[in-house]
């Protein structure tokens, strides 16, 4: 009994293009009547196609399936299945990691909605910060370059960092040299086994103003922070340390502009009560 290509494709839930591809790879050999282009598939093609589809759905590629067909013993097939299982487990781990990063990005965006230009008092997470630029001056040392290359392998969990000098915070100035680079929370850095060196600073503000602000041409960066500190009798005691959550309007960067429309930063600014003698801040360098 013979089947037409459309019938075979429908039975297996695939396209006729897929069947032609399998034929081109040598998996299927349909019969053709003399001087006819019509493909006729023998019933035995159904059984072989079942094996092809099974191996394909298990994650094997064309070349791998061809190798599987040359296996004469179950033990040979078993070893190839074990190898594929290891590969799939690695893929699953990578997908779980990507899913975690997507959830983190979504949480960042949700936090913007609740904390933009608002303030709360909290402890900062312990951050590892790698500074590679002060103002327009870029640190091109080998140590910095090597660390950045290592960190970039975990980019979904590594943020662009921003450090605004205390003087720029209290004067709400955008024109003083800010430090920039990359940062990651210590727990995540340890979990990812990120490289650590003398250039990596560890910031831990025990008592800080936590806020999200929008860096743009039209808006002041820290005015709401200064107002909050004044209203609550707080004194800013050090640099604002932050991370870039997201950029919007980056389409402009494709043209002659070099800046996106806005950049949303999450900052922690160390503080003390004005009547306190000592600031509640620790800054530990590795």
**Which CATH number does the domain housing residue 13 bear?**
1.10.1660.10
Which contiguous run of DSSP H or E holds residue 160?
Answer: strand 159-164
Both 103 and 64 in a single domain?
Answer: no
> Residues 6 or more apart from 135 whose CB is under 8 A from it?
177, 178
Entry pTM? 0.77
pLDDT of 24 reads: 85
pLDDT recorded at residue 64: 93
- The owner of tokens 């590969």 is 87
**Residue 65 per-residue DSSP state:** H
> Is there a single domain that holds both residue 277 and residue 147?
yes
Residues 66 and 148 in one domain: no
Same domain as 273, residue 134: yes
pLDDT tens over the chain, length 286 residues: 677 888 888 888 888 888 888 888 888 877 776 666 777 777 777 778 888 889 989 999 988 998 998 999 999 999 999 999 999 999 999 999 999 999 999 999 999 999 999 999 999 999 999 999 998 889 999 999 999 999 999 999 999 999 999 998 998 776 677 899 999 999 999 999 998 888 999 999 999 999 999 987 677 789 999 999 999 999 999 999 999 999 887 665 556 556 778 899 999 999 999 876 444 333 333 3
My answer on whether 122 and 252 are in the same domain is yes
Nearest-CA neighbor of 161 among 173, 178, 139, 144?
178
* Cβ contact 283:204 at 8 Å: yes
Query: Do 217 and 281 have their domain in common?
Result: yes
Same domain, 28 and 106: no
In this structure, the answer to whether residues 81 and 124 fall within a common structural domain is no
169 with 273, same domain: the answer is yes
d(Cα 189, Cα 125) in Å, to the nearest integer?
Answer: 12
Q: Are residues 110 and 132 in the same domain?
A: no
pLDDT of residue 35: 64
> Considering its fold, how many domains does the chain have in total?
3
Is 160 found in the same domain as 110? no
pLDDT at residue 276 in the model? 62
83 and 164: one domain? no
> What domain range includes position 79?
74-115
């Amino acid at each position: 009994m013979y089947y037409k290509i459309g019938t075979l494709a429908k039975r297996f839930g695939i396209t006729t293009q897929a069947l032609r591809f399998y034929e081109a790879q040598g998996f299927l050999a349909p019969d053709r009547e003399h001087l006819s282009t019509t493909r006729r598939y023998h019933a035995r093609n159904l059984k072989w196609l079942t094996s092809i589809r099974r191996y394909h759905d298990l994650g094997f590629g064309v070349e791998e399936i061809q190798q599987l067909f040359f296996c004469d013993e179950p033990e040979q097939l078993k070893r190839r299945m074990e190898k594929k299982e290891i590969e799939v487990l690695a893929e699953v781990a990578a997908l779980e990691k990507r899913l975690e990063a997507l959830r983190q990005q979504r949480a960042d965006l949700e936090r913007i909605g609740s904390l933009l230009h608002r303030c709360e008092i909290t402890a900062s997470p312990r951050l590892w910060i790698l500074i590679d630029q002060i103002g327009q001056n870029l640190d091109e040392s080998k140590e910095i370059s090597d660390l950045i290359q290592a960190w970039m392998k975990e980019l979904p969990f590594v943020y662009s960092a921003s450090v605004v000098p205390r003087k720029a915070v209290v004067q709400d100035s955008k024109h003083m040299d800010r430090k920039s680079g990359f940062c990651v929370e210590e727990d995540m850095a340890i979990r990812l086994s990120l490289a650590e060196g003398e250039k990596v600073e560890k910031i831990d503000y025990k008592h800080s103003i936590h806020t999200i602000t929008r860096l743009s041409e039209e808006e002041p960066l820290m005015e709401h922070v200064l107002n909050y500190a004044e209203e609550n009798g707080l004194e800013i005691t050090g640099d604002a340390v932050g991370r870039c959550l997201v950029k919007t309007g980056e389409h402009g960067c494709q043209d002659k502009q070099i800046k996106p429309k806005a950049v949303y930063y999450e900052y922690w600014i160390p503080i003390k009560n004005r009547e306190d003698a000592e600031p509640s801040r620790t800054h530990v360098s590795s």
